[in-house]
Amino acid sequence: MKSSTTDTTTLEPSSSVPAVETQEGSLPQASMPAIRTGRPRVVIVGAGFGGLNAARALAKADVDVLLLDHNNYHGFWPLLYQVATAGLEKEAIAYPVRAILRRQSNADFRMAHVESVDLDKRLVLTGTGSQPIPYDYLILAAGSADNYFGNNALARNTLGLKDLSDAETLRNHVLGAFERAAAEPDPETRRSLLTFVIIGGGPTGVEMAGALSELFRHVLRKDYPTLDIGQTSILLLEASDRILAAFPESLQRAAKRKLIRMGVQIKLGMAVESVEDGTVSLKDGSQIHAGTVVWAAGVRSSMLADTLGAEQARNARVKILPTLNLAQHPEVFVVGDMAYLEGYKGKDAYPMVAQVAIQQGKRAARNIISHIAGRSLASFRYFDYGTMATIGRSSAIFDAFGIHLSGRLAWLGWLFIHIIYLIGFRNRVIVLFNWAVNYFTYERGVRLITGGK
Ligand SMILES: Cc1cc2nc3c(=O)[nH]c(=O)nc-3n(C[C@H](O)[C@H](O)[C@H](O)COP(=O)(O)OP(=O)(O)OC[C@H]3O[C@@H](n4cnc5c(N)ncnc54)[C@H](O)[C@@H]3O)c2cc1C
């Protein structure tokens, strides 16, 4: 049963939590909405792929679950680039967390930004004025942030793609560049405005490049008849010698061919040094003048990881045990993009992808249930469903179970899987409808520039 959000409970230690002692003395008499007394309290930070699946996997457990997120929605990031390129409205890829948890009687949600965690006192800190939130078990699933490798100019002068507001900003910026170009008399300035640079040849960069190309060639070409669409350039810059490094070589080649056919200029071995005032400076000394520069070249763990005082590995991800918890604080589990664990394909770190987060979230929840029942914890075992990326409206690459596919069949597989994993019947209908309209008419509905005069 859900307790009232105005309920003030005296926090008692959970009698049913073995081995991990509850720090009775240190817990404040906090106002704890939706937390009942007497049974273990599981606090989950982040309602993304990892956190949400952990919460759902605890549905039948004899625990109280409190899910925290600074947004009130769960975002489906694999389709974010479609919001940024006017293919989908942002409401189609997000769903309110409270609606998702409505039928889960042992769970509640609170919209809060978690600033840090006091691991010794077992408290989650959500900012000035807010009461610390005590926990018996904690699952940290706060995801990732853009990684600029300490280069502040890159952070300031490029556009990222990590959440709904980023996607909307990017869409406004791209459409705004066309508006300005249409009114620009100087051909050089116009050419710069119509130059779009994407830094990073991973899946996000490739998907963005493909989607921008289609938006320009099929839609904006008709919207801006006075502009010469041949003047637009999409440059995909990649520091290494290949795009889509995580995919087999045959699929890398297929993706490259398709992008080139779509007019995307792929520049390999191009490391970016800085971006200032619309000029991208490369390490080889050359420069590109561009009105839009998208950063898709690096991700790191959420900044929350830096506050824990726990050991961090590559990309600032938190080092965890194979049972997904911290060695020094076994009651704390870290999952998804925040977590660093080796063992993928033998010895690599598990990648920052949705399936890893989903499966780790479920495993963390099951380990908490095991711990409460006095059973030993199980190590994380990953079932690899494969990877895929889409290039435009009817082409994708697909690498799963030893099968390498590219083209339309891979794209149909991509469509099917994204619809299955999208949360909410309404969202599935909206996305399918939009895709059908895009596919048959080459139209895109969401070509609005919002939020400024
Ligand atoms: C543009 C883009 C495209 C992608 N495409 C794919 C793809 O095609 N396939 C694939 O498998 N993966 C893809 N990914 C990666 C995938 O989305 C992530 O690996 C996955 O979301 C990780 O799950 P998570 O639970 O760790 O984090 P997330 O799903 O990101 O969830 C983290 C949650 O924590 C919340 N949060 C963060 N910090 C705080 C805080 N301090 N306080 C409170 N709440 C907080 C966030 O609001 C968010 O809801 C993509 C990612 C992006 C950004």
Dihedral class, residue 223 (left if φ above 0, else alpha if ψ from -120 to 50, else beta) = alpha
- d(Cα 453, Cα 451) in Å, to the nearest integer? 7
Show the ligand 1 pocket: residues with CB < 6 angstroms.
Answer: 45-51, 68-71, 75, 77-78, 80-81, 113-114, 141-143, 161-162, 203-204, 302, 304, 336-338, 352-355, 357
| Dihedral sign, Cα of residue 70, residue 73, residue 79, residue 83 | negative
Find the Cα–Cα–Cα–Cα dihedral 69, 72, 77, 79, rounded to 10°.
Answer: 180
DSSP code string of 296-339: -S-EEE-GGGGGS---B-GGGPEE--TTSB-SS-TTEEE-GGGE
pLDDT of residue 436: 80
Contacts of 199 (CB under 8 A, 6+ apart): 158, 205, 237, 272, 280, 293, 294, 295, 296, 297
For the CA of 354, the closest atom of ligand 1 is 11
pLDDT in tens, 163-189: 999 999 999 999 999 999 999 999 999
Nearest CA, atom 20, ligand 1: 354
- β-bridge partners, 267: 237
Q: If you search the block for the tokens 């600029």, which residue do you land on? A: 148
Collapse the DSSP code of 168 into the 3-class scheme (helix H, G, I; strand E, B; otherwise coil) and give the result: helix
pLDDT in tens, 257-272: 999 999 999 999 999 9
Collapse the DSSP code of 111 into the 3-class scheme (helix H, G, I; strand E, B; otherwise coil) and give the result: strand
- d(Cα 154, Cα 148) in Å, to the nearest integer? 6
Nearest CA, atom 12, ligand 1: 353
pLDDT of residue 23: 36
Tell me the pTM. Answer: 0.90
Q: If you search the block for the tokens 């080459």, which residue do you land on? A: 442
| CA of residue 190 to ligand 1 center, whole Å | 36
User: In the structure, what pLDDT confidence band is assigned to residue 427 with cuts at 50, 70 and 90?
Assistant: confident
- Catalytic residue IDs: 207
pLDDT in tens, 58-91: 999 999 999 999 999 999 999 999 999 999 999 9
CA atoms within 13 A on the CB side of 389: 27
Residue 60 token pair: 């039948």
pLDDT of residue 453: 63
Q: If you search the block for the tokens 């699929």, which residue do you land on? A: 251
- H or E stretch covering 67: strand 64-69
